[in-house]
């Protein structure tokens, strides 16, 4: 949003009025699209890592960067469990939701979904991606203790946001790309139980969406058993293959290539790629999106080209 609207990231993150106006402007500019997860008080990817003690650096024209603080796994017992109501940037986000929600409601909008980083993602910010992946092999028991801490943070953070917003919340979005960097056996040991614990912590009738655009080949058939209803996945797995392997057990959200097509393609190329995705879904439950999410620099014309392709596809099916 900041790049598209010509505002700085810091103003978007820390100025309530700028944040509200940014969402409103995008919603009004693209009435044919659904903004997901709606009014998201996001500070880059800083909320969960900051609650774990990770150093966050801010820049005016790009998302924040994170620098892990050196930490020995053998000292985990001394690590205080993070509390999203008091730690890091989480309280600032909760305050934004609490103070801005009535303005959002008064403008005719709702806030149905809360979002959080998943446990492997948060652990990788805390340890570093490569060290964390090595931990899984070299220190599996300690890694599981860290994942327990991060899973509790994910659950508590989602619940704190839902409490701040109120009863209109009826869904969660969990983002964890690190799951896509491990194999099937490691998924069963280090990912599946923790993702399932998150889903089990929320009402059965809530919508649960899982984002992983790093890769889903190793876990695709198992993901529905976590309790997630929808998968927002990347371009690596063809939609026809994903649909065949899921067999209707999970709604797909995607997967027009976000950079090669969404950012770098022409509107005609976007329209053609979108039609290809829609046709190759072959009736599998699908929420049309780019694979993973809109990337910075995607032209407005390309977003509209996706909507145009959807209209053409629906007309084709009716005809």
**Distance, C-alpha 32 to centroid of its chain:** 21
Domain 2-213+223-228 falls in which CATH fold? TIM Barrel (3.20.20)
Predicted confidence at residue 318, as pLDDT, reads 82
Sequence spans of domains, the chain: 2-213+223-228, 233-319
C-alpha angle 27-173-6 in degrees, rounded to nearest 5: 35
Tens of pLDDT, residues 241-257: 999 999 999 999 999 99
Rounded Cα distance between 15 and 289, Å, is 29
Residue 287 has pLDDT above 90, yes or no: yes
Tens of pLDDT, residues 91-128: 999 999 999 999 999 999 999 999 999 999 999 999 99
Tell if the pTM clears 0.85, that is, is over it: yes
Which residue from 143, 147, 165, 144 is spatially nearest to 155, judged by alpha carbons?
Answer: 147
Residue 16 has pLDDT above 80, yes or no: yes
Q: Given the DSSP bridges, would you call strands 207-212 and 62-67 parallel, antiparallel or unpaired?
A: unpaired
pLDDT category, 292, cuts 50, 70, 90? confident
Please report the beta strands in the chain, taking only residues with DSSP state E, as ranges in sequence order: 55-59, 62-67, 113-117, 171-175, 207-212, 230-233, 251-256, 286-290
3-state helix vs strand vs coil in the chain, percent to 5: 55, 15, 35
To 10 degrees, what angle do helices 140-165 and 129-138 make? Answer: 130
Tokens 């909320």: give the residue.
47
Which residue from 282, 294, 295, 214 is spatially nearest to 252, judged by alpha carbons?
Answer: 282
The answer for residues whose C-beta is within 8 angstroms of residue 273's C-beta and 6 or more apart is 256, 257, 261, 265
Residue 23 has pLDDT above 90, yes or no: yes
Predicted confidence at residue 208, as pLDDT, reads 98
**Neighbour count for residue 259 (Cβ, 10 Å):** 16
Rounded Cα distance between 277 and 294, Å, is 16
Which residue from 109, 232, 225, 236 is spatially nearest to 181, judged by alpha carbons?
Answer: 236
Predicted confidence at residue 317, as pLDDT, reads 86
Tens of pLDDT, residues 52-87: 999 999 999 999 999 988 999 999 999 999 999 999
Rounded Cα distance between 188 and 288, Å, is 29
Which tokens is 126 given? 């805390």
């Amino acid at each position: 949003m900041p790049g598209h609207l010509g505002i700085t990231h810091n103003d978007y993150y820390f100025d309530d009025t700028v944040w509200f106006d940014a969402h409103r402007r995008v919603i009004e500019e693209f009435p044919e699209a659904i903004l997901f997860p709606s009014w998201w008080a996001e500070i880059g990817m800083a909320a969960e890592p900051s609650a774990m003690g990770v150093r966050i650096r801010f820049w005016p024209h790009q998302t924040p960067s994170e620098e892990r603080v050196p930490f020995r796994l053998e000292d985990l017992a001394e690590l205080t469990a993070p509390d999203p109501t008091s730690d890091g940037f989480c309280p600032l986000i909760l305050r934004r939701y609490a103070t801005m929600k009535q303005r959002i409601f008064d403008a005719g909008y709702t806030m149905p979904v809360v979002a959080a980083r998943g446990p492997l993602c948060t652990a990788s910010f805390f340890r570093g991606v490569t060290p964390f992946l090595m931990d899984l092999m070299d220190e599996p028991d300690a890694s599981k203790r860290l994942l327990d801490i991060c899973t509790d943070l994910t659950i508590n953070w989602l619940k704190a946001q839902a409490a701040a917003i109120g009863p209109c919340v009826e869904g969660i979005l969990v983002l964890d790309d690190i799951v896509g960097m491990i194999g099937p056996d490691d998924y069963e040991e280090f990912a599946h139980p923790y993702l399932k614990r998150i889903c089990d912590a929320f009402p059965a009738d809530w919508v649960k969406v899982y984002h992983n655009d790093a890769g889903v080949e190793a876990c695709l058939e198992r993901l529905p058993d976590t309790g997630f209803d929808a998968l927002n996945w990347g371009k690596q797995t063809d939609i026809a293959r994903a649909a065949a392997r899921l067999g209707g057990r999970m709604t797909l959200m995607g997967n027009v290539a976000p950079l090669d097509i969404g950012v770098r393609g022409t509107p005609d190329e976007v329209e053609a790629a979108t039609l290809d995705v829609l046709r190759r879904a072959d009736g599998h439950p699908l929420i049309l999106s780019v694979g993973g999410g809109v990337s910075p620099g995607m032209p407005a014309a390309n977003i509209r080209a996706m909507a145009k392709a959807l209209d053409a596809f629906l007309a084709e099916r009716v005809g």
